[in-house]
A and B are shown apart, each in its own frame.
Chain A
């Protein structure tokens, strides 16, 4: 579904991504793990069209999207649940969800999708009139995921979905991600929580200083000595 090759990204003179290549097959979960500053968020932002790569290609369903502005990438079906949730705090839950369906591709399906989101997250249904900023971190994360679903994405990118959440909520979020993939969603998962994301992922890449240094199935990487030492502290 998504193929990236030779991707270079610079912030001024500082290189953030160096010849990144990866493939995300349809209906699978691909994890990208790595330490702070390895370039994980930069990669997501580049795919989403927020950053412009200096070189390389990003193909989504066979179409080149590298360098396209973010609103066009979105409209092709690439959704992202950004780091830190980024919901609209002074709007209600329902309004936040409606905002997710402003894209031309999503507008006509807004009603049924909203019901689906409420089915997925009953907590949101209970709170549809509440201001989003007054909800707990976990509920806000669910809202961010729901809002992304409202845009009818075919590929969803999660940037640190477990950041700052209680362990029980983290489990819940990962359960939802797995369920979405089982229902046919393609997922890119960026996480510092390496153990959990490798368990969840069909395939994973290790990013270090902007370079892919290792890849394999989630299970393979979990068994790899280097990965265990560097990221799991074992």
Chain B
């Protein structure tokens, strides 16, 4: 155990560890000074930080672009909700079904793509296609509510982690725990042999193959790990919002929103997805609030803001915000 911990911190400067501790402490204490509205914004930010981290495993580490991650969020949300509502199985158990379903979808997409050498843009299109026809499938899946939606009973009660029913502050800490665990898990992955295989595939698949890496197996593993991680975001989504509409949860816009954080924060970095999600969510809400306050209530202003952020990053900070910021703050690791 201590060996694993030492390995996690290997090559990280003390400054960076302290900074990380401070960020975590700030997030732990944030609800104490937040009102209901701020708390809801922070929950969304953590949600995107977590989901972005999960997506980053596939794209940032292994170089496989998925534009259909709403698929994994969606099927997992439905799986956990159905288990709970129809069979009274609490999400603490139902989440395993959700993980399994999402991983199965990931495995099928990965197998079809990698077995038949579908790559690059065509792979991305395949992921969109799967998300889209799953959406249409759920639209007509009347047993799970069809296009009319699937609902969980809204109850006002004390926090209960087993059934994931409770006030927003409970959801905040659940999401914070997930984000922190995902961060550590990804750190572990990047330090592992698997992580190195993924980087090799990302950098140059042919070269990776020439080095004797089983490219098919490790690409499959990336998709399955990523979809499995993403599924927990789906379970959270179902129990936090209490309603699921195929139109909404499987929509391509959800997939895109989910990947903006890691792209803006820094693809393939560990802290980038978290930073990106907070910058986007918090700033976008701030901009909207300021505009509303000054009397300009413009619908769609958030989307325009996302677009601007993306444009700025792509043009001026192609590596994302985090790598240059890390250098500026003097948090670069020893090597």
Name which of A8-16, A54-62, A84-92, A221-229 contacts chain B. Answer: A84-92
Chain B, 195-235, CB within 8 A of any chain A CB: 196-197, 199-200, 203-204, 206-207, 209-216
Residue B193 at the A interface, CB < 8 A?
Answer: yes
User: Would B203 and A103 count as touching, CB distance under 8 A?
Assistant: no
Name which of A69-77, A166-174, A196-204 contacts chain B. Answer: A69-77
The minimal Cβ–Cβ distance linking B335 to chain A, given in whole angstroms, is: 8
User: Would B210 and A70 count as touching, CB distance under 8 A?
Assistant: yes
User: Would B203 and A90 count as touching, CB distance under 8 A?
Assistant: yes
A-B interface, 8 closest residue pairs, ranked by CB to CB distance from nearest: A74-B212, A86-B207, A88-B203, A71-B214, A103-B212, A71-B212, A70-B209, A82-B210
A-B contact count (CB 8 A): 60
Interface residues, chain B, CB within 8 Å of chain A?
Answer: 193, 196-197, 199-200, 203-204, 206-207, 209-216, 335
Q: Which residue of A lies closest to B193 (CB)?
A: A102
Q: Which residue of B lies closest to A107 (CB)?
A: B193
The minimal Cβ–Cβ distance linking B319 to chain A, given in whole angstroms, is: 10
The minimal Cβ–Cβ distance linking A25 to chain B, given in whole angstroms, is: 24
In the complex, what distance in Å separates the CA atom of A50 from the CA atom of B199? 20
Residue A125 at the B interface, CB < 8 A?
Answer: no
Give which listed residue, A86, A100, A148, contacts B206 with CB less than 8 A.
A86
Give which listed residue, A69, A129, A151, contacts B211 with CB less than 8 A.
A151
- Chain A, residues 149-192, CB within 8 Å of chain B (1/0): the string is 00100000000000000000000000000000000000000000
Interface residues, chain A, CB within 8 Å of chain B?
Answer: 48, 50, 69-71, 73-75, 79-80, 82, 86-91, 98-100, 102-103, 129, 147-148, 151
Q: Which residue of A lies closest to B335 (CB)?
A: A129
In the complex, what distance in Å separates the CA atom of A211 from the CA atom of B308? 57
From known contacts A86-B204, A86-B206, A102-B193, infer whether A91 and B199 are also in contact, taking CB-CB under 8 Å: yes
The minimal Cβ–Cβ distance linking A211 to chain B, given in whole angstroms, is: 26
User: Would A88 and B212 count as touching, CB distance under 8 A?
Assistant: no
Q: Which residue of B lies closest to A94 (CB)?
A: B335
The minimal Cβ–Cβ distance linking B247 to chain A, given in whole angstroms, is: 40
In the complex, what distance in Å separates the CA atom of A99 from the CA atom of B211? 8
Residues of B within 8 A of A148 (CB): 210
User: Would A102 and B210 count as touching, CB distance under 8 A?
Assistant: no
Residues of B within 8 A of A80 (CB): 210
Of A48, A73, A88, A148, the most chain B CB neighbours within 10 A belong to A88
User: Would A102 and B206 count as touching, CB distance under 8 A?
Assistant: no
Give which listed residue, A48, A89, A98, contacts B210 with CB less than 8 A.
A48
